Amino acid sequence: MKNLLKKFLNKETILYGIFGIGTSMLNVVLFQLLLMTSMDYKIANLITLIVVKVAAYICNKNFVFQSHCDSFAELLKEIFRFIVARGATMIIDYVGLIIMVDLCSLPELPSKIFITVLVIVINYIVGKKHVFKK
């Protein structure tokens, strides 16, 4: 049990949690602020997702996974992997919200929070395994 706990509770996962909470708060707060301007929730979500993905890359690269690239080409490959991985979860985020709001008739903000939590878990796994390789 201790080995399992050590495996999942380490500096990296704690930092991911801290920065994940920060970017998730940015995600929900910016979404809500844009909704308050009477912006359509789909456009508000798209703008929010782009801003949050940029913030997440910077935080994950520099603080969570502490990724260092030896060349500009290596940096571009890392950014490309991030865009592909986060692009996929961005689709999950975007379409998931539409499904919850339009098809299931659920409120926008609770739906956004639910989808955000789901995407955090997926992003950690994909980031660790495919984007920020040691």
Q: Is residue 38 part of a domain?
A: yes
| Tokens describing residue 87 | 């692009």
pTM given for the model: 0.76
Q: Is residue 46 part of a domain?
A: yes
Whole-angstrom Cα Rg for the chain: 16
Q: What one-character DSSP code corresponds to residue 68?
A: -
Report pLDDT for 3: 75
Say how far apart CA 19 and CA 59 lie, in whole Å: 7
What mean pLDDT is reported for the chain? 88
Domain count along the chain: 1
Q: Is residue 78 part of a domain?
A: yes
- Which residues span the domain enclosing 121? 11-131
The 3-class secondary structure across 97-132, one letter per residue, is HHHHHHHCCCCHHHHHHHHHHHHHHHHHHHHHHHHC
- Position 47 confidence tier, pLDDT thresholds 50, 70, 90: very high
